[in-house]
Amino acid sequence: MRGSTNDEHIEDLRAGNASAWQRFMKEQGRVILAVGRRVGLDPNEREELFQNTCLIAYRSIGQLKDPSRLSSWVYSIAYRTGIELARRRRPAGAGDEELERLVSEEPSAHEVLGRLELSHQIREGLDRIGDTCRDLLDQLYLQADEPSYEEVSRRLSMPIGSIGPTRARCLEKLRKALTAVSGRPEPRTTEAERPDRPDRPS
């Protein structure tokens, strides 16, 4: 059934169906923009990458033989286009070594798409657990400055003594949300396996 849906989507793209291309830009946009970040493009260049990749895909969609490889195909187009944009903005010879490294170390589309899917699932999971839990886990695990419990308490107006117990409840809620999002069986997690976050000095 999934394959049939993909086949129909590709046929609609080949026919120039506007709704199909809107869906394409929505679903593949995160792949394209992730490539732009990886090759070091700034926001304006990532927007240009998005437009150029969509244009190339529009012109070349007839060359795609396997509908199940649409995202991998788009990723390959975006990566090559992104490297060219990065080269264009540099003075001659500047940064060539870094660009060559990016070309030689290009990760597989499967690897990148897997990471994007995991990132999407985590964001969706965080959106399902409520503002209090989302904000607390964001402060504890996702902030670059790694705030101490004292700073988290100040930022969230939360008593410092409640952070630990609330964190444990929120992690459990997130685990269940991720299970629902991914559609995989819920793993059995022991207390020893729960992720910890030691106190940091203020």
pLDDT digits (tens, 9 = 90+) for 115-159: 666 666 777 888 899 999 999 998 998 786 788 999 999 999 999
Domains in the chain (CATH in brackets) are: 2-106 (1.10.1740.10), 112-183 (1.10.10)
Above 80 in pLDDT, residue 202? no
CA 24 to chain centre: 16
What confidence score (pLDDT) does residue 186 get?
54
What confidence score (pLDDT) does residue 125 get?
87
Least confident of 30-34, 169-173, 181-185: 181-185
What confidence score (pLDDT) does residue 129 get?
92
Higher-confidence residue: 178 or 109? 178
User: Half-sphere exposure (CA, 13 Å, Cβ side) for 61?
Assistant: 22
What confidence score (pLDDT) does residue 100 get?
62
What confidence score (pLDDT) does residue 61 get?
94
Above 60 in pLDDT, residue 103? no
Above 90 in pLDDT, residue 56? yes
Above 70 in pLDDT, residue 112? no
170 pLDDT band (50/70/90 cuts)? Answer: very high
Distances in Å between the Cα of 94 and the Cα atoms of 97, 98, 181 are 8, 9, 44
Residue 27's contacts (CB-CB under 8 Å, 6 or more residues apart) are: 71
User: Half-sphere exposure (CA, 13 Å, Cβ side) for 103?
Assistant: 13
Higher-confidence residue: 161 or 90? 161
Nearest residue to 78 via CA among 21, 25, 31: 31
In whole angstroms, what is the distance from residue 55 CA to residue 99 CA?
A: 24
What confidence score (pLDDT) does residue 182 get?
72
**Residues 33-62, mean pLDDT to the nearest whole number:** 90
